[in-house]
């Protein structure tokens, strides 16, 4: 199984999405990315790991290994699983400092993503990013 953030990078996703002419095809690609996310153990699908601000159910857990954050994520929505994959390509396997300095808005702009999402999906995407960045800031502060 490929790891988002190391085997599948933001550049890979930008390049792949640029290949498609229609947003219908791009959505299909994003959904397919979500199918590549490793399944999250049900034991991690807890209230504590639930991302607030998402219309769908979204869970996100992390662990720190050698100053790198590794995330597990899941959702009950296929498109949201795909959006999680897009986000994890940017943040998974990175140090807290790299997460805090990564230009996620520029990445989303390059993907031309936000304006093609419903407002509720866009807010959910922002909530996922906020949760990851808050986690990175908390861990960086403990170091």
| Strand ranges for the chain from DSSP E | 58-65, 68-75
Q: How many CB atoms are closer than 10 A to CB 142?
A: 8
Establish whether 54 is a catalytic residue.
yes
Closest Cα partner for 59 from 139, 138, 132? 132
Catalytic residue (choose from 8, 30, 54, 58): 54
Burial of 63 (0-12, 13-18, 19+ CB in 10 A): exposed
Active centre residues (catalytic): 54
């Amino acid at each position: 199984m490929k790891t988002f953030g190391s085997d599948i990078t933001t550049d890979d996703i930008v390049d792949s999405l640029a290949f498609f002419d229609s947003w219908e095809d791009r959505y299909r690609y994003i959904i397919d990315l979500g199918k590549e996310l490793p399944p999250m153990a049900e034991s991690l699908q807890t209230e504590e790991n639930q991302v607030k601000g998402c219309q769908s159910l979204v869970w996100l857990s992390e662990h720190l290994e050698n100053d790198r954050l590794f995330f597990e994520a899941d959702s009950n929505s296929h498109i949201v699983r795909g959006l999680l994959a897009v986000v994890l390509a940017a943040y998974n396997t990175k140090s807290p400092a790299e997460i805090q300095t990564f230009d996620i808005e520029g990445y989303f702009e390059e993907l031309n993503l936000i304006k093609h999402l419903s407002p509720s999906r866009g807010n959910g995407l922002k909530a996922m990013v906020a949760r990851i960045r808050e986690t990175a800031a908390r861990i960086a502060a403990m170091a």
